[in-house]
């Protein structure tokens, strides 16, 4: 288990090519536990590609990516996320036809609910766990001023509200680290302030943040 302040994410010599275009060349950096780190550069500099490679959405062509001492370069995204490393995207991605509450419940850690046999043999425990998740979801939504929208379909939210829902889902999922790809893009100034506060909340919850943002 990584202690506070120790290196959580480490990139060494990471490279990624798309045909004749080299999107990442010799990328080296570290992120320590509990930090909020900014990844800054002009459009086309390879920031989003770097996040893709770290989170498992792209395979690096060279170099090493280690998360809490474990090599994750080339590991698929679903395995990376199960280690506690998650990412958001420049455009908010929600389950549009589900309500805000249902989006939150989907983001809850699976625990034993991935097992079909447990669902069949212990339905009472699953219902009990869902009630616990609903209580937590309400608390998280209230902290981000989303509680009044809990029964609204997520697809009906504004761009800024969808961003806040992303942060709510992150808090619900309880990752160890999150990669935020331009979370303030296209958001009005009022909601931008709330999103900035949400980023600080992640750190208060001991979630390490790597942030791509122009502002």
Question: What is the C-alpha separation between 14 and 50, in angstroms, rounded?
Answer: 9
Task: Tell me which of 110 and 209 has the higher pLDDT.
Answer: 209
pLDDT in tens, 24-35: 999 999 999 999
Predicted local confidence at residue 62, as pLDDT:
96
Element (H, E) at 201: helix 189-204
pLDDT for 78 beyond 50? yes
Task: Tell me which of 165 and 194 has the higher pLDDT.
Answer: 165
Predicted local confidence at residue 121, as pLDDT:
47
E-assigned strand segments in 19-94: 21-32, 36-39, 62-67, 70-71, 85-87
pLDDT bucket at 205, cuts 50 / 70 / 90:
confident
Predicted local confidence at residue 69, as pLDDT:
93
Question: Residues near 83 by Cβ (< 8 Å), separated by ≥ 6?
Answer: 67, 68, 70, 72, 176
Predicted local confidence at residue 126, as pLDDT:
62
Highest mean pLDDT among 69-78, 153-162, 185-194: 69-78
pLDDT for 96 beyond 50? yes
Question: What is the C-alpha separation between 110 and 34, in angstroms, rounded?
Answer: 24
Predicted local confidence at residue 109, as pLDDT:
73
pLDDT for 72 beyond 90? yes
Question: What is the C-alpha separation between 150 and 136, in angstroms, rounded?
Answer: 13
Are 35 and 208 contacting, i.e. CB atoms less than 8 angstroms apart? Answer: yes
For the beta carbon of residue 138, count every other beta carbon within 10 angstroms.
15
pLDDT bucket at 118, cuts 50 / 70 / 90:
low
pLDDT in tens, 6-48: 999 999 999 999 988 999 999 999 999 999 999 988 888 889 9
Q: How far is Cα of residue 130 from the mean position of the Cα atoms in its chain? A: 22
State the pTM of this model.
0.79
Long-range contacts of 141-146 (CB under 8 A, 24+ apart): 141/100, 141/101, 141/104, 141/168, 143/171, 143/201, 144/168, 144/194, 144/198, 144/201, 145/194, 146/100
- In this structure, are strands 36-39 and 208-212 parallel, antiparallel, or unpaired? parallel
């Amino acid at each position: 288990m990584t202690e506070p302040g120790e290196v959580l994410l480490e990139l060494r010599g990471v490279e990624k090519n798309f045909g004749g275009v080299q999107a990442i060349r010799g990328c080296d950096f570290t992120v320590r536990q509990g930090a909020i780190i900014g990844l800054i550069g002009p459009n086309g500099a390879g920031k989003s590609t770097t996040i893709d490679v770290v989170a498992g959405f792209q395979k690096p062509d060279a170099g090493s990516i280690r998360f809490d001492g474990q090599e994750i370069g080339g590991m698929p995204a679903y395995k990376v996320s199960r280690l506690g490393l998650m990412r958001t995207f420049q455009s908010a991605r929600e389950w549009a036809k589900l309500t805000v509450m249902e989006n939150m419940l989907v983001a809850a850690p699976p625990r034993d609910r991935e097992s079909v046999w447990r669902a069949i043999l212990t339905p009472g425990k699953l219902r009990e766990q869902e009630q616990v998740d609903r209580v937590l979801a309400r608390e998280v939504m209230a902290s981000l001023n989303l509680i009044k929208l809990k029964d609204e379909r997520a697809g009906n939210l504004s761009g800024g509200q969808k961003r806040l829902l992303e942060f709510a889902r992150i808090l619900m999922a309880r990752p160890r680290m999150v990669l935020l790809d331009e979370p303030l893009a296209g958001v009005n100034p009022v909601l931008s302030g709330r999103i900035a506060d949400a980023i600080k909340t992640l750190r208060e919850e001991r979630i390490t943040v790597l942030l791509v943002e122009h502002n």
